[in-house]
C-alpha cells in the first residue's frame, strides 16, 4: 500500500479548505497513493470561539463533503478527512469520512471527546456511539481513529481485533507543554502494541502542532513532517507486516480480551459498587484460548 499523509492549516472559510484538500488529493493521485489521510477538522478552523463549530458545520451531503468526495472520482485513491456535521440538539458530531471514486465508503464518529487540558469538546460536540470502523482499501484493512482517540489503547486494539493492518488517524493536536511528545509516544505505541502501520495526519498552524507521521509495525517512524504544510509518503508492505507479527506476536501472546461494549459517558455511569470477585470482573477476563477476540 502506498500511503500519503496531507498536512495543512485550516482556514475559517470552508471553500478555502476544500481547495487545499483537492490540491492534496491531486498530489496523492499523481503519486499513485492508495490511501491519503487528511487532518481532523478539515472543514473549518475554530480557535478563539469554539462555539463557531456549530455555525460552520455542514451535513454529509453539503458542499464541502460533496466537493471532497466528487474530487476522488475516477481514481483509486481513498481519502480520509475529518469534518463536523450538525446534530438535532444544536451541537455537532466529529466525523471521519472515507471517500473513493466519487463515493463515501466509510464514516466514523469520534468516540472520545477532548475534555482535557482545560478544554471541553463535549460542550459543542456529541460523542459517537458507533462500533469501531474498519474498511477495505487496496486489499488492506484500514481502521479509523480521531485525534484524542489515540490516548485510549483499547480502541486501537478493538480495530486490530477486527483485522486492521493500518490505522488512519486524522488529528488537530493542540499545542501545549509536552504535547508534541505525547503525540509521538502514543502514535508510536499504538503501532507497536498492535503491530500495525499508523498513518497520522496533524493539522498545523497557530493552534496545532502538525507533526504528521507514518509509523511501521515495529514502531519505527518512516516519514514525518514538522510544522509546515506538506504531503509525506510511506509504503506499507504485506511481507513486512507479516514478518513483524512473527517477530513480535503480541496479538497472539496477550492474555486479556478487550470488552467491546461501549462504556456510558462519565456523567451517565452508575454509582460505584464494590468490586465483584476477580473471576467475575468483566473487564479482566482472562482469555483461555490465548487468541485475540472481542
Spatial CA neighbour of 167 closest among 276, 241, 113: 241
Give CA separation, 2 vs 77, 101, 240, 261, in Å.
Answer: 9, 17, 14, 34
Q: Residue by residue, what is the 3-state secondary structure of 229-286?
A: CEEEEEECCHHHHHHHHHHCCHHHHCCECCCCCCCCCHHHCCCCCCCCCHHHCHHHCE
Catalytic residue among 21, 110, 121, 203: 110
Q: What is the pLDDT, as a whole number, of residue 263?
A: 80
Q: What is the pLDDT, as a whole number, of residue 180?
A: 96
Q: Indicate if 110 belongs to the active site.
A: yes
146 vs 40: CA distance, rounded Å: 7
Q: What is the pLDDT, as a whole number, of residue 287?
A: 46
Say if pTM beats, i.e. exceeds, 0.95.
no
110 vs 172: CA distance, rounded Å: 13
Give domain 2-236+256-262's CATH architecture: 4-Layer Sandwich (3.60)
**Exposure of 248 by Cβ count < 10 A (0-12 exposed, 13-18 middle, 19+ buried)?**
middle
Catalytic residue among 21, 147, 196, 204: 147
Q: What is the pLDDT, as a whole number, of residue 51?
A: 82
Cβ 183 vs Cβ 238: under 8 Å? no
Catalytic residue among 21, 40, 196, 204: 40
Q: Helices in 7-152 by DSSP H: which ranges?
A: 14-30, 52-56, 63-70
pLDDT, averaged in runs of 10, over the chain (294 residues):
97 96 98 98 80 92 98 98 96 97 98 95 94 97 98 98 98 95 98 98 95 98 97 98 98 94 64 43 43 40
For the chain, domain boundaries: 2-236+256-262
> Cell numbers of 185, please?
509516544
Amino acid at each position: 500500500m502506498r500511503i500519503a499523509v496531507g498536512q495543512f492549516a485550516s482556514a475559517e472559510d470552508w471553500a478555502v479548505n476544500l481547495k487545499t484538500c483537492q490540491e492534496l488529493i491531486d498530489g496523492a493521485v499523481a503519486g499513485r497513493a492508495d490511501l491519503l489521510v487528511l487532518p481532523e477538522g478539515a472543514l473549518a478552523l475554530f480557535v478563539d470561539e469554539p462555539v463557531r463549530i456549530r455555525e460552520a458545520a455542514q451535513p454529509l451531503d453539503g458542499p464541502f463533503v460533496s466537493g471532497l468526495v466528487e474530487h476522488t472520482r475516477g481514481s483509486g485513491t481513498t481519502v480520509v478527512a475529518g469534518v463536523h456535521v450538525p446534530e438535532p440538539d444544536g451541537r455537532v458530531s466529529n466525523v471521519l469520512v472515507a471517500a473513493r471514486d466519487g463515493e463515501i465508503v466509510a464514516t466514523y464518529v469520534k468516540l472520545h471527546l477532548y475534555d482535557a487540558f482545560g478544554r471541553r469538546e463535549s460542550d459543542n460536540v456529541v460523542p459517537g456511539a458507533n462500533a469501531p470502523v474498519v474498511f477495505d482499501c487496496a486489499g488492506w484493512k484500514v481502521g479509523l481513529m480521531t485525534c484524542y482517540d489515540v490516548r485510549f489503547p483499547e480502541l486501537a486494539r478493538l480495530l486490530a481485533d477486527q483485522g486492521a493492518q493500518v490505522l488512519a488517524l486524522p488529528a488537530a493536536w493542540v499545542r501545549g507543554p509536552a504535547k508534541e511528545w505525547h503525540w509521538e509516544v502514543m502514535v508510536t505505541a499504538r503501532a507497536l502494541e498492535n503491530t500495525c502501520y499508523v498513518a497520522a495526519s496533524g493539522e498545523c498552524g497557530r493552534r496545532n502542532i502538525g507533526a504528521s507521521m507514518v509509523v511501521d509495525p515495529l514502531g519505527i517512524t518512516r516519514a514525518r513532517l514538522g510544522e509546515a504544510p506538506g504531503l509525506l509518503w510511506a509504503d506499507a508492505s504485506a511481507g513486512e507486516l507479516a514478518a513483524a507479527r512473527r517477530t513480535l506476536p503480541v496479538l497472539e501472546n496477550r492474555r486479556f480480551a478487550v470488552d467491546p461494549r461501549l462504556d456510558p459517558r462519565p456523567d451517565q455511569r452508575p454509582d460505584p459498587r464494590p468490586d465483584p470477585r476477580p473471576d467475575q470482573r468483566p473487564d479482566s477476563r482472562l482469555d483461555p484460548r490465548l487468541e485475540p477476540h472481542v
